[in-house]
């Protein structure tokens, strides 16, 4: 495996895009979902890139200037080489290599340091799909299949299990992973049912610490309800009016 799939921290980083055509546009749209500040330099820009600079004035910056092989660039964390000129792209690629700048060349399969994946996101799950060797006509089919697969995961269920795990970690409970997995495979778990299910003798011996957690939740809910009743000023107003 030549390219290792991994997450890249884009906070407080600058990306340079060399090129203002459709080749660059497809990559720029992906960069919009990151925290990169995006600087785009080209002799001309397609209208959609111009509009992006208007829609994202604090994130996307364009500069119209003719690019030549001796064009110099420094202090960028990531360079996207996407002009329509093969020789120009080759010159920029060599400059990135010589300056140890992470880059991706878009027009051909080259020695790019980084390759931007397609990202499929659903129900708080993100999947990066390396498509640089895939038939472009098949990429949308694969993405659609993955999205359908992700539909089976419930964000509500994940959120509930996250809350339970945090509480169990706070209580230094043993066998946390087993408890969470058991609860996950319980198809009936939901925000309204999981506490009730656990109370009705469905807690295994190694899950007894959950009882304390459930009691704490119940106490907090009762306390919250009582507090709301005491602090509701409407009751006092109604009594005073009747008197």
Q: Residue for token digits 């299990």?
A: 161
Query: Strand, coil or helix: what is 37?
Result: strand
Mean pLDDT for the chain? 79
What is the Cα–Cα distance from 74 to 76, expressed in whole angstroms?
Answer: 6
Q: What is the pLDDT of residue 233?
A: 43
Concatenate the DSSP letters of all residues of 76-124 into one string: -SEEEE--S-HHHHHHHHHHHHHTT--EEESSS----S--PPEEEEETT
Residues 175-192: tens digit of each pLDDT: 888 888 888 887 555 545
What is the tens place of the pLDDT at every residue in 47-105? 999 999 999 999 999 999 999 999 999 889 999 999 999 999 999 999 999 999 999 99
pTM of this prediction exceeds 0.95:
no
Q: Does the pLDDT value for residue 112 go beyond 70?
A: yes
Residue 242, pLDDT > 50, answer no
Identify the pLDDT of residue 243.
37
Predicted local confidence at residue 178, as pLDDT:
86
pLDDT tens by residue, 128-150: 887 777 777 788 888 889 888 88
Q: CB under 8 Å, gap of 24 or more: what pairs does 50-59 form?
A: 52/28, 56/32, 59/32
Residue 94 burial (C-beta neighbours within 10 Å; 0-12, 13-18, 19+): exposed
Of the candidates 69, 113, 67, the one whose C-alpha atom is nearest the C-alpha of residue 91 is 69
**Ordered structural domains, the chain, with CATH:** 14-116 (3.40.50.720), 155-242 (no CATH)
CA 146 to chain centroid, in Å, comes to: 16
Instruction: Tell me the percentage of the chain whose pLDDT exceeds 90.
Output: 37
């Amino acid at each position: 495996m030549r390219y290792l799939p991994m997450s890249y921290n884009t906070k407080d980083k600058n990306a340079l895009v060399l090129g203002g055509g459709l080749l660059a546009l497809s990559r720029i749209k992906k960069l919009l979902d990151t925290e990169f500040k995006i600087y785009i330099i080209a002799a001309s820009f397609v209208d959609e890139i111009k509009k992006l600079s208007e829609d994202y004035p604090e994130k996307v910056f364009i500069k119209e200037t003719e690019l030549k092989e001796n064009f110099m660039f420094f202090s960028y964390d990531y360079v996207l080489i996407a002009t329509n000129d093969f020789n120009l792209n080759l010159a920029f690629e060599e400059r990135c290599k010589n300056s140890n700048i992470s880059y991706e060349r878009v027009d051909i399969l080259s020695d790019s340091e980084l390759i931007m994946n397609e990202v499929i996101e659903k129900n708080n799950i993100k999947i990066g799909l390396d498509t640089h060797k895939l038939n472009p006509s098949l990429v949308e089919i694969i993405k659609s299949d993955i999205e359908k697969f992700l539909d089976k995961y419930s964000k509500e269920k994940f959120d509930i299990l996250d809350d339970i795990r945090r509480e169990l970690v706070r209580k230094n409970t043993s066998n946390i992973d087993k408890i969470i997995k058991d609860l996950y495979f319980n198809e009936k778990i939901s925000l309204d049912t999981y506490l009730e299910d656990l109370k009705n003798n469905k807690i295994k011996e190694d899950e007894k610490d959950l009882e304390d957690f459930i009691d704490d939740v119940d106490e907090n809910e009762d306390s919250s309800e009582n507090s709301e009743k005491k602090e509701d000023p409407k009751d006092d107003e109604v009594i005073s009016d009747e008197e």
